[in-house]
Amino acid sequence: MKTRGEHLLLVIIAVVVLAFVLAPLFLMFATAFKADENQILRDFGNANAFWVWPSEMSLENFRQVLGNDTFPVLRYMANSVLIVVSIVVLGILVNSLAAYALARLVFPGRNILVIAVIALIIVPMESLAVPLLLMMNQVGWVDTYQAQIVPFIAHPFSIFLFYQFFAVLPKDLDEAAYVDGASRLQTYWKIVMPLSLPTIATVAILQSLEYWNAFLWPLMVTRGSDVRPISLALAQFFGTPPPIWGDVMAFSVLMSLPILVIYIAFQRWFIQSAIGSGVKG
């Protein structure tokens, strides 16, 4: 009975926590599909704010957002896609190579480099923003895609995740590849990386989420809509009075949907890698 009671208590706690986590999502999606702004304001005071009846559903808010010439949503979203995809793809290559070198090569100072990578994880971006902005200004990269991509390709936490995985990967696989005539780079590309798919998925999800929602740095290095990401567009759209909540929530849905789709698609590998890192680390 005690075990059953504890199990029921854990289920109740999980349901309550899940409700708190999902409530903003339900509110956002429900409001985005309501065309009547007065109805939206009335529903904010009761449980109807988290639900939209089929008879009330409308795509009018999305049409207004996508048809707004002042805020070219598709252009902002294309900017974000270009920036995030570039960071993730180049970051996976660079960070995995660095982690493979730290895990497999023996050279003086290797342990110090590992400690430095771990230490860099706790350094906040805000403390580096001003010096980094000065560097971008010196090389003429202000208001460009390069300023939003190049500084973030090397990522300490991603290096650490790859290093954790490579450190527990049997070295017999490398030695067998060397016997067959493979070089170190061929071993990395054809043996190690295919086995690293869970870690790659984890890094891709975490980096996508981090840079898709980036706000401070794009605000500092961009001047107009040409290269600005969608996160800045949403803040500017919300700050334009008067706020029309249906349009704001529709804008939020358009911004959130790509990340939700990516996470749902790769959640199995993400969970597998997170559990494996917790057990082996």
Average pLDDT, the chain: 88
The structure's pTM equals 0.86
Q: What is the pLDDT of residues 224-241, one digit of tens each?
A: 778 999 999 888 888 877
Residues 139 and 144: their CA atoms lie apart, in Å, by 11
- Residue among 263, 220, 238, 209 at smallest CA distance from 65: 238
Q: What is the pLDDT of residues 148-191, one digit of tens each?
A: 999 999 999 999 999 999 998 898 888 899 988 999 999 999 99
Contacts of 112 by beta carbon, 8 Å cutoff, 6+ apart: none
The CATH code of the domain at 73-280 is: 1.10.3720.10
Exposed, middle or buried, 208 (CB in 10 Å: 0-12/13-18/19+)?
Answer: buried
Q: What is the pLDDT of residues 134-151, one digit of tens each?
A: 999 999 999 999 999 999
Q: Read off the tokens for 148.
A: 């939003």
Supply the DSSP string of 175-227, one letter for each residue: HHHHHTT--HHHHIIIIIHHHTHHHHHHHHHHHHHHHHS--HHHHHH--SSSS
- Residue among 151, 143, 155 at smallest CA distance from 218: 143
Q: Read off the tokens for 223.
A: 């001047």
278, pLDDT greater than 80: no
For residue 274, what pLDDT band results from cuts at 50, 70 and 90?
A: low
Give the percent of the chain with pLDDT over 70.
95
Neighbour tally for 133: CB within 10 Å:
17
209, pLDDT greater than 50: yes
Cis bond upstream, residue 243 (ω within 30):
no
Q: What is the pLDDT of residues 5-46, one digit of tens each?
A: 788 889 999 999 999 989 999 999 999 999 888 888 888 888
What are the residues facing 34 on neighbouring strands?
A: 57
The rounded radius of gyration (Å) of the Cα atoms in the chain is 23
Q: Where are the domains of the chain?
A: 2-58, 73-280
Q: Read off the tokens for 113.
A: 């480099």
Q: What is the pLDDT of residues 50-74, one digit of tens each?
A: 888 877 889 999 999 998 888 888 8
